Amino acid sequence: MAKKRGLKYDKIIDAAVKVIAQNGYHHSQVSKIAKEAGVADGTIYLYFKNKEDILISLFEEKMGQFVDYIKHKLEGVTSDEEKLAILINMHLAQLEKDHNLALVTQLELRQSNISIRFKVNEVLKGYLGLIDSIIEQGKENGSFDEAIDTRMMRQVIFGSIDEVVTNWVMKDHRYELAPLAEPLHAFLMKGMISPKRLEEKR
Amino acid sequence: MAKKRGLKYDKIIDAAVKVIAQNGYHHSQVSKIAKEAGVADGTIYLYFKNKEDILISLFEEKMGQFVDYIKHKLEGVTSDEEKLAILINMHLAQLEKDHNLALVTQLELRQSNISIRFKVNEVLKGYLGLIDSIIEQGKENGSFDEAIDTRMMRQVIFGSIDEVVTNWVMKDHRYELAPLAEPLHAFLMKGMISPKRLEEKR
Amino acid sequence: MAKKRGLKYDKIIDAAVKVIAQNGYHHSQVSKIAKEAGVADGTIYLYFKNKEDILISLFEEKMGQFVDYIKHKLEGVTSDEEKLAILINMHLAQLEKDHNLALVTQLELRQSNISIRFKVNEVLKGYLGLIDSIIEQGKENGSFDEAIDTRMMRQVIFGSIDEVVTNWVMKDHRYELAPLAEPLHAFLMKGMISPKRLEEKR
Amino acid sequence: MAKKRGLKYDKIIDAAVKVIAQNGYHHSQVSKIAKEAGVADGTIYLYFKNKEDILISLFEEKMGQFVDYIKHKLEGVTSDEEKLAILINMHLAQLEKDHNLALVTQLELRQSNISIRFKVNEVLKGYLGLIDSIIEQGKENGSFDEAIDTRMMRQVIFGSIDEVVTNWVMKDHRYELAPLAEPLHAFLMKGMISPKRLEEKR
DNA sequence: GATGAATGAGCTTTCATTCAT
DNA sequence: CATGAATGAAAGCTCATTCAT
């Protein structure tokens, strides 16, 4: 029933990001999104099951691109430390490039009800899995401290980045975000680096 | 008009925590909270300006107690490292003690609209300021690395703790939370400790 | 939740009969009924579960009065033949007195969906049971032919009266209805009278 | 514009009967009927003016066949009493043979709005006229009581049969319908038979 | 202070119908 | 003839807030 492809599908997704960023989730009526997309209200329902589905699809779509892009950037990189650096950098850079998207993912998407939150988390798993795999590989390669619990390390990494971005959004994007990647990476590395590798560095 | 004190004031706050935790934010009508509190719908408006005000007051009230309690625990503690350990420990322990409150602060409160988010952030500033002061003092005392930006360090600390708690809540409190304080503290300390102090440790 | 009594309850029922008779069921918006009743839209939902519930309650209310009234008229009547005469007469006379109600029961109420039809039938059972008891008693008393199946006889009686009323409604009440009671009764009696009683009559 | 003939015309009519019987009138969207008929939504509008027109045409078509078939069966029958017996029998037997059609004519068709009801009644006139002509002829031939009003007699006949069928449909076709024709006919005849003929019978 | 009946604004979704291809 | 993607009007119901008692 709901077609997940087509020119209008993309138009509606983009309209939704814009309208929700501008008006907030609770004031983004379907009719407003339709108008912005240049389609009739009913057309929305040819492409999406309901209003919730717009939100989830929006996140799936953008998050998918996001993860794919980062994976692409990581290809060929051998240093585990650098991998983490690239991930943090891309995360901040991508959201800095699209203020509206940042607003939606950091604030509006979290206003939705819990059933959406769970679906969002499902989508997020792809990204969290990516972080996990970087950590695991680093531990195997002897780059990262084997003693550290992967889940905890991932929570610190994702929680830190997320908090940094949210603070930036709530401060109205008044400062540059990407430059915060380097010190954040440096800080995290001090906690993650394996004792042996630390020794070598001296 | 809205009195911020009284027996019924407290009853309503506690009813709100319970009702929101049980039913979710979007299904917590004012009438339901009134019923749980054992007062009439209209009575709510003698103590709170509107529904938003219940939420914000709830957070102010609980967060205030939370911060006061941690401040109290920190009194007399001289080691900066230990201060941070206590803060993390208290944070996790307090929320583990009250599942309902954890549900409300980690998930439900964030579903409200942005104007509430900003007011909640205002309340949160007291707690974030506490973290900042621990960091600053630690830097002054030579316990923490002076080179690290205080804001970033606070974002990492708060973001990490918050992510750890949210994961625990979304996993239905299926594991113990407080034991996660120690490894988290250890991890963070590796990134924060001053080079000089690190040297001494060897 | 839905209060089945009160001044406004009656006002809404009466408004519904009027509005539905005038506009037809599908063009009788809840807001229109509320306006006619002189209450707010939301007030409707303090007294009725939903729009369907107005219809069913309307029928319950009116049918209840209808059956009670006929039962009252039958009190003290001993002749089974006369009982049937009174029932037919009352049925036609009552509906003739209230054109709007006749319109609603004969046409509009049957436009509703099947779930309503079944509930309406449930309410109707009280009336059909009354007819059944007249038949049974007549058979016991030797007034009516024992050989005739009660259910079939009731279907003929009710079906005939109903068809007569519906024809009158669809002909815009352009002729008098009550006078049709006598010939209808006479006709039905010829089929129902017991052979023995018939013999006596000669 | 709307062609009343063609292969697809019949396909759509039959699809409508099936879909309405299965899903109920209010859940029988044009698109569903189109799908069942194996044509595009738009094609419906090449054969029918609008949705109402499908319903009316359906009834015209089926009712026409129905009346033709009964007329055919009545050919050559000379006894007026037997004519009525055949009519009742055919009426019940035809609907018993097609449960879907019975569902549609007895319940679903009556859920449509009043303008349809009037058009349906127009179509019904052919059948009612047939009943009328049997009555009139019977009165002329001295078989039926001349004193009885033809319209009333027809209302009793049609009302009774209709009620019998509706009861059967609402009881989910749980018993056999055709066997009810004989007692119904016998009952009606007792009221209709002319006094003179009755005398002869003794 | 306390009550709770009443208010009425606000929005998602369906589906008959059209028309460019 | 046939298609089916697109249209857009239309309405039931909820719930925060008020105010007469």
Task: Give the whole-angstrom CA distance, residue B87 versus residue B158.
Answer: 10
Detail the protein residues whose CB sits closer than 7 A to any atom belonging to strand E: A 27-31, 41-42, 44-45, 50-52; B 3, 6, 8, 39-43, 45-46; C 6, 8, 39-43, 45-46; D 26-31, 41-42, 44-45, 50-52
D2 pLDDT tier (thresholds 50, 70, 90): low
CA/C1' separation D38–E18 (Å): 20
Partners of D118 on chain C (C-beta within 8 Å) are: 170
Under 8 Å between Cβ of D34 and D40: yes
Q: What is the pLDDT of residues D177-200, one digit of tens each?
A: 999 999 999 999 998 888 888 888
Under 8 Å between Cβ of C196 and C142: yes
Partners of D156 on chain C (C-beta within 8 Å) are: 156, 160, 163, 184, 187-188
Classify domain C55-201 by CATH number.
1.10.357.10
Closest residue to D160, CB basis, from C24, C159, C189? C159
Shortest CA distance from C198: residue in chain D: D190
Higher per-residue confidence, A160 vs A195: A160
B78: which 2 tokens?
A: 């001289």
**Which chains sit next to D, with 3 or more Cβ pairs under 8 A?**
C
Under DSSP, is residue D94 helix (H, G, I), strand (E, B) or coil? helix
Contacts (Cβ under 8 Å, ≥6 apart) of D175: D168
Q: What is the pLDDT of residues B39-82, one digit of tens each?
A: 999 999 999 999 999 999 999 999 999 999 999 999 999 999 99
Closest residue to D155, CB basis, from C148, C153, C160? C160
Terminal alpha carbon distance of chain D? 62
D160 interfaces chain C, CB cutoff of 8 Å: yes
Interface of B with A in 15-54 (CB under 8 A): 24-26
B130: which 2 tokens?
A: 């506490």
Residues of chain C with CATH 1.10.357.10: 55-201
Question: Which of C161, C159, C201 has the alpha carbon at shortest distance from D161?
Answer: C159
Predicted confidence at residue B1, as pLDDT, reads: 53
Residues of chain A with CATH 1.10.357.10: 52-201
The pLDDT of C18-25, averaged and rounded, is: 90
Predicted confidence at residue D1, as pLDDT, reads: 52
D116 pLDDT tier (thresholds 50, 70, 90): confident
Under DSSP, is residue A185 helix (H, G, I), strand (E, B) or coil? helix
Q: Is the pLDDT of residue B166 over 70?
A: yes
D141: which 2 tokens?
A: 């031939």
Q: Say whether B187 and A161 touch across the interface (CB within 8 A).
A: no
Q: What is the pLDDT of residues D63-113, one digit of tens each?
A: 999 999 999 999 999 999 999 999 999 999 999 999 999 999 998 887 777
- Which residue's CA is nearest to the C1' of nucleotide F14? C42
Q: Say whether A155 and B148 touch across the interface (CB within 8 A).
A: no
CB-contacted nucleotides of strand F (7 Å): 1-20
Q: Is the pLDDT of residue C1 over 60?
A: no
CA/C1' separation D42–E19 (Å): 10
Question: Which of D22, D20, D15, D56 has the alpha carbon at shortest distance from D39?
Answer: D15
Report CA Rg, chain D.
Answer: 19
CA/C1' separation C33–F13 (Å): 15
The pLDDT of A8-35, averaged and rounded, is: 93
C-alpha distance from residue C69 to each of A183, C61, C62, C131, C151 (Å) = 88, 12, 10, 14, 23
Residues of chain C with CATH 1.10.10.60: 1-49
Look at the domain B1-49 and name its fold. Arc Repressor Mutant, subunit A (1.10.10)
Predicted confidence at residue B112, as pLDDT, reads: 72
Work out the minimum CA distance from A168 to partner chain B, whole angstroms. Answer: 11
Residue C16: count other Cβ atoms within 10 Å of its Cβ. 26
C-alpha distance from residue D11 to each of D34, D61, D63 (Å) = 9, 12, 17
CB-contacted nucleotides of strand E (7 Å): 1-20
Question: Which of B18, B50, B166, B33 has the alpha carbon at shortest distance from B115?
Answer: B50
CA/C1' separation A42–F7 (Å): 7
Q: Tell me the CATH number of domain A52-201, given options 2.60.120.10, 1.10.20.140, 1.10.357.10, 1.10.150.130.
A: 1.10.357.10
D158 interfaces chain C, CB cutoff of 8 Å: yes
Under 8 Å between Cβ of D19 and D58: no
C149 interfaces chain D, CB cutoff of 8 Å: yes
Q: What is the pLDDT of residues D18-52, one digit of tens each?
A: 999 998 888 899 999 999 999 999 999 999 999 98
